[in-house]
Each structure stands twice: as structure tokens, then as C-alpha cells.
Amino acid sequence: QAEGARRGVDKIFVAARVDVMDAHAPFDVVTMFNVMEHLNDPGDTLGRLHKLLRPGGLLVVETPDENGLVRSLARLAYRASFRQVDVLNHFYALPPHHVYCFSHETLVRLLESRGFQAIAIEGLNAGPEFIKHGLKATRPGVRAATKSLLVDALLWSSDLLGGPTRLIAYARRV
């Protein structure tokens, strides 16, 4: 909020749920970082956000990239381990669960089906915060420790190689 005020933004509202946003609408900008993948019905949430944005309002969404480098390497590691070590499910086994993972194409389709026009969708690399999350995501046992090490190696590799692991989408309400 301090950064917004410094940049001349008069009103910033932070909400953990869409239903508490109604009284503060309409909004010029709505952001969702690391949220879409946890929603049981992301289409419904986007439809509700569409109603809360002013016409021409901006929606910014960040979510894991189904076709990103980490997920591609993890699928390769899964096949190489003869389907014994499922690195992809390492994070999903931890609450809160990821329900969906979007590719560039599926994210555009979902946004457009809910009345948004995708302006730009960019790939982002893992970054230090995401890597720190991976380092903390451990469970007891050799198998869990192996998964954790593989996840950490994949995240570090992606970050070093600059390969995208996440998508950030900018969309306008039409």
C-alpha cells in the first residue's frame, strides 16, 4: 500500500476473497498472484472479478506455467525414474493444493471466456521466493527428501537457465 501511495494511487484494497470486494467496487486494477491455481472454479472467480472492474479495467494474474521449464524437466525426471519419483506432485501434496495449472493457451481461453481481452502474457523464471518455498517443502522420509532435492535442483536449474516457470497475464475488461 505504501508503494501505491508513493506512486499516486489513492485507494488500495487488499482482499483474500472476492465476496468482500463488492462494497469497494468498481476497481481500476485487480491483481491475483499465486491464486488461480488454488481455485476450485477459476472461471467463476474471473467472472465475478469482471463485474468488479470498471470497463477497460486491468486484471493481472500470475500462475505456474504448465509448459514451463520446471514442469517439463519434472515430467522428464518422472519418466527417467520409471514413474517412481513424481516431482510434479511434490508441491501439490502440500496444502493448499494446486487444483489447476495453466498454459499460455488455456489461460488466454479462460480469460476471454469470462469477458477479458488478453493484452500480454509473459513467462517468468522461478525467482528466489519460489525457490525458498521449494527448500521448505519437505516431509520426513527418504522418498520425500529425494523429491525435495529434485524439486530444488529443478528450480535452481530453471532460475540459472532463465527458463520460465510461471506466467503473468495482463488482461482488460471488455
Confidence of residue 159 (pLDDT cuts 50, 70, 90): low
Q: What is the 3-state secondary structure (H, E, C) of the chain?
A: CHHHHHCCCCCCCCCCCHHHCHHHCCEEEEEEECCHHHCCCHHHHHHHHHHHEEEEEEEEEEEEECCCHHHHHHHHHHHHCCCCCCCCHHHHCCCCCCCCCECHHHHHHHHHHCCEEEEEEEEECCHHHHHHHHHHCCCCCHHHHHHHHHHHHHHHHHHHHCCCCEEEEEEEEC
Residue 65 DSSP class: B
Q: What is the mean pLDDT of the chain?
A: 81
| Per-residue pLDDT tens over the stretch 65-106 | 888 877 777 788 778 888 877 766 655 555 567 788 899 999
The structure's pTM equals: 0.77
| Per-residue pLDDT tens over the stretch 12-52 | 888 888 989 998 999 999 999 989 998 999 999 999 999 99
